[in-house]
Structure 1
């Protein structure tokens, strides 16, 4: 469980000790040790632990976090089992890139478009333990972008090549002075893919930096453009998975189905100090996406425009000789969405792939929400702190069916305001050891499709999922800060469980059908061992032991109460090692064990458990003054394990076909990386 963060890539230690972990400014706490919550933190070294193209192997080193990756553009992230039954993609988890939300108005989260080489830090808040991010049931993911911090000019070039036509090139330039900085980067990622119809192409430009930087104020800016086109092999049935995993689903191969979009992100954030002890950060942001997706059953064209603002006040005062910290603010988010579907005439296109035909449907959706949040932290008695928070969410949306003529309609709906409290106690037996207990409430709003009747109109009876989480945890430094350990024990019950009932090949309706119970233990340890003056070892270990089940669940007359929750493994173990030599040579090894998991609610079919091993070796060296280089070579899936890197839960076969549950993973694969950095 890698934890170190906010350090230069070559300075993760202080006097041969693990440095205390600093967390982002979003929190009311400034360090992981003093945060009464389970937060996984990944440093630059840990983010770049693999091939810099897929963040899944990195996130999966954190206990309680499981990212499935059917392809670079096909992912599902679950935290403590939350979101495991989502059919495609990630929801019930909010994500931010700096101050900009990566989660759309209909609760879908995409983080895979962000270039990993532009990240300074990643944080994963597990469970509804923070009232600052909408109190989502699963938690939140915070991605912090890199900024040039050394005055002068910096430039870097990186290239990665690997198996199955993998190629990634990144170019970055930065300039900084005492008054501000600018960073601009370009990246291009391509791969032929292991499977049929799995070619992938993505390129993007990012501009970020600070202006008007002063002692008590600064203006930061961010802009990103991404183009992506990815062919879709889709999932396959069990026989194909076992015997011909490199093949694509027949219909997707015949249609040459793919996803293509242009995406724009932009934001401004102004931080200032209106008075002593009080700080404010106010940001505005916009997110635009134009998507085109030819599928075997139709062609989907989507346009999304989202924008919003967030303001947050942070204060620190001393009252009756006790330090009091607080955060309070609000966030507004508006999301507008237009979608049309068309006939796909690929069968009449003489094997040349998809061909757009007549328009089938047209819809427009608008969603608005407001989050108001506050947190307070103060000492009750010596060594004992109280932290309390509250979040209020008000969400409304509008749905218009604009085509065909016979279904034209206009529906408005608003959820009742949702209050989500959180309270924690933090006990500090020493300055390097903490224990905490917490109780919190969270919620997850249904995506638009889950709010609809089969006729396409809003079902006013659909409720958001909600649940209470109770947690006990601890974080400890031992052996003169050479060893860091942590644990968390949690119990969360989710009520008004949303169930996606399939009514067509790509059509689902939602119902509130029961309750789930999420219980588990997470443990982790990091150790710094100085073998000699020229060599050190940094082993880590992380484990998640969970019990996820349907407490009450009745779906279409089938009683699944007591069954294991679909799509989430009970047990997950990670262990690894980084060895470093003083002359620049390093080696990393990462081991993953994942338990089998149920593929359907009836628990009649399970995926197999598996073990994975990834290795990477590299050499960092100086060429000239200010000019350094890094050469690395890696092997993923060293043992050539055959496993599913993603599953489609509750898959249904049509017209007598077998259900397609499995996304086959890459076999053993290799990559090499060369980077050059220049400071001048």
Structure 2
């Protein structure tokens, strides 16, 4: 099976001199810290180029490279990653084509923040809760990582607020403000204190925008406290607390003809249904989150990390056909024991542990009378419990070979009861689901390594899919699952001036969960055949001069459906819905000693299918973005002033599409050419 993509991999490797980029992220990280960028994915704690995994490290420089106060530009520079924005605040995140299951929110992958699970037991992640200003870096694991992280097929995202051990002693702070087109105003402030054995970060954010389209206003307010305290010689306690109050209006999809006539309009009313503005369609999310992690050294060879978390979400969604209210409680815990030993040129470690998550949700649907709750339609009570056991071992031999193998045993249980009907509680149990992973890396020279991966992933239907917005219960949904095989080469050359990562993979998904929508536009999901996701990724960064770096990333994703029959229609062989065949991102970074800097990025995305029958495609686009700024330091104070432009070629495109939408309402137009400016001040 792996031989299917070896020719593709070799072909991509041949493009290295033409600046193939794995991710602007890896580029900047490797350029800034060529020997100290540490990958924590799979508990490796090794340098990026020595990690036997397809992982990208997005550092702070990459996060702030664009003038936009969102994660979208930084993540879309990573090969294999596509972050969509249908309107301000409405995000979807895809790792190698997992968007089939994400009409909104983030599914089919796992997210952790400072090692604490952000994804709930129902499989959903509110990825719009963290703010860009609250993060210092993130790691993206691409491909199934269920052996250590539980249910996922797309991959894992690890968010980091900062490395406590690298914080300077004393007090420091920062404030930032950004303003721009369509009423954009973003402001953040933070304070940090570090001393021997203690580190505390406090932050506040505010973000608002009128939006480019009608019915797309956005507002977010939040606060965060993160800290680490060394309790004694062998124990360290970390905590993460945050509260986010989020509101964004949802304009809804429009047809191609409507987009060409007036891309700023919201979904219009029809003879049978009102429009988005008529119903005041929006999302209101208030989430309070708390988590702690205790690390304990037990002698010279044993240690343990235990995590506990709890959060509450109050969620309201006035929609075209109903007004949904959700009251969600989430609880979770994770513990892992590690044993490590060194014997000359051979080092090895093993870890074993468990993770448990539970989601309890009250989901009530009402009539929507122009944005006001009306009569009750349905009242449901749902509970999802997910737990898994895992074991993993890795070894290094002669500073050339790295081996890693792990497996997890997963269980998932749903409880569902409709309170508005006299019906008994239904229970659905999925398990035991086994997810193994094996990887190997060999350093063919001190700075270049080849690696191979074989892993099995699965993703259970989320609560939002078992009980979607159409108000029905789909207890017959089954987990999707599949094997991934991957080969890659990564490393550096020319005294670390060149950084590269090239890989090819073959992932076969079975029982794929795909999205459908009814005549009213409400979604539901079905298992429908499988997918063939064979592709390749290439990244290279070249520091041409001390002040000039060029990078390029290329993703090749000719994914297709397999065994997909819907009624009398056979979609087998059709291109995977919502996934562009190619994405190429090129960039240029200039940093002058006098403090001036410039960042330019061109994202060329090919056309992509909008319906499973491939009858409609969204046109490709070229998104040009630029940022020009000046940084100046005065003693302990550093300030940065910048101006930025987005969509400088003024392309008419949709950055987030409603796939398989009825009535041809596929498109959510992105803003036309627009500009922003900002000021950031840091002191220590």
| TM-score for the superposition, normalised by structure 2 | 0.92
Q: 2:462 aligned with 1:447, yes or no? A: yes
The alignment status of 1:141 with 2:164, answered yes or no, reads no
Distance in 1 of aligned mates of 2:228 and 2:615: 55
For 2:573 and 2:628, the matched residues in 1 are separated by 46
Q: Secondary structure at the match of 2:632?
A: strand
2:336 to 302, 306, 312: 312
Contact persistence 1:167–1:191 (CA under 8 A)? yes
Shifted more, 78-87 versus 509-518: the winner is 78-87
* Residues 595-606 of structure 1: pairs in structure 2 closer than 5 A: 595-606=606-617
- Contact 1:180 1:213 survives alignment (8 Å): no
In structure 2, what is the Cα distance between the partners aligned to 1:332 and 1:428? Answer: 37
CA distance in 2: counterparts of 1:546 and 1:25, whole angstroms? 24
CA contact (8 A) 2:178 2:679 kept: yes
2:289 maps to what in 1?
265
The residue number in structure 1 matching 2:92 is: 76
Change (3 A) 1:555 1:380: farther
Measure, in 2, the Cα distance between the counterparts of 1:543 and 1:23. 22
Preserved contact between residue 107 and residue 123 of structure 2 (Cα < 8 Å): yes
The answer to whether 1:543 aligns with 2:562 is no
Instruction: Check 1:641–1:281 CA distance in 2 against 1; reply closer, same or farther (3 A cut).
Output: same
Q: Write the deviation string for residues 377-415 of structure 1: whole angstroms up to 9, x where unpaired.
A: 124677333211111111111001011x35x33101111
Deviation at 1:21, TM superposition (A): 2.6
Distance 2:629 2:232 in 1: 39
CA distance in 2, matches of 1:569, 1:455: 31
Q: Give the whole-Å Cα distance in 2 for the aligned partners of 1:6 and 1:367.
A: 40
> Displacement, 1:597?
0.6
Q: In the TM superposition, what is the alpha-carbon distance from 1:76 to its structure 2 partner? A: 1.4
Give the number of aligned pairs: 653
Match of 1:110 in 2: 126
Q: Which runs of 5+ in 2 are unaligned?
A: 1-22, 269-274
Note closer, same or farther for the CA distance 1:393–1:108 as it changes in structure 2 (3 Å cut): same
Give the match for residue 31 of structure 1.
47
1:456 & 1:592 partners in 2: Cα distance? 40
Alpha-carbon deviation of 1:506? 4.9
Residues of 2 paired with 1:184 and 1:357: CA distance?
41
**By how many angstroms is 1:105 displaced?**
2.3
What CA distance in whole angstroms lies between the structure 2 residues aligned with 1:233 and 1:82? 24
In 2: Cα distance, 1:135 partner to 1:293 partner: 27
Counterpart of 1:13 in structure 2 is 32
Specify which structure has the bigger relative contact order, considering alpha-carbon pairs within 8 angstroms and separated by 6 or more residues.
2
**Residue of structure 2 aligned with 1:3, choices 4, 25, 28:** 25
Identify the match of residue 321 of structure 2 among 297, 315, 322.
297
Structure 1 residue aligned with 2:105, among 77, 89, 105? 89
Q: Which residue of 1 aligns with 2:264?
A: 246
Gaps of 5+ in 1: 347-353, 654-658
Q: Is the 8 A contact 1:28 1:325 kept in 2?
A: no
Cα distance in 1 between the residues matched to 2:465 and 2:247: 27
CA distance in 2, matches of 1:559, 1:302: 37
Q: Shift of the alpha carbon at 1:82?
A: 2.1
Secondary structure of 2:628's aligned partner: strand
Q: Return the alpha-carbon distance in structure 2 between the equivalents of residues 171 and 591 of structure 1.
A: 31
Distance 1:650 1:269, change over 3 A: same
Matched residues in 2 for 1:576 and 1:487: separation? 18
Deviation of the 1:147 alpha carbon: 5.8
Q: Do residues 60 (structure 1) and 60 (structure 2) align?
A: no
Equivalent position of 1:630 in the other structure:
640
SS at match of 2:69: coil
CA contact (8 A) 1:147 1:208 kept: no
Paired with 1:463 and 1:86, the residues of 2 have a C-alpha distance of: 17
Per-residue displacement from partner, 1:179-232 (whole Å, max 9, x unpaired)? Answer: 202111111001111111111111001011112355532111110001111111
* Aligned-pair CA distance for 1:118: 1.7
> CA, structure 1 residues 492+179, in 2 after alignment: closer, same or farther (shift >3 Å)?
same
Secondary structure at 2:259 match in 1: helix
Q: How does 1:559-570 map to 2 (within 5 A)?
A: 559-570=570-581
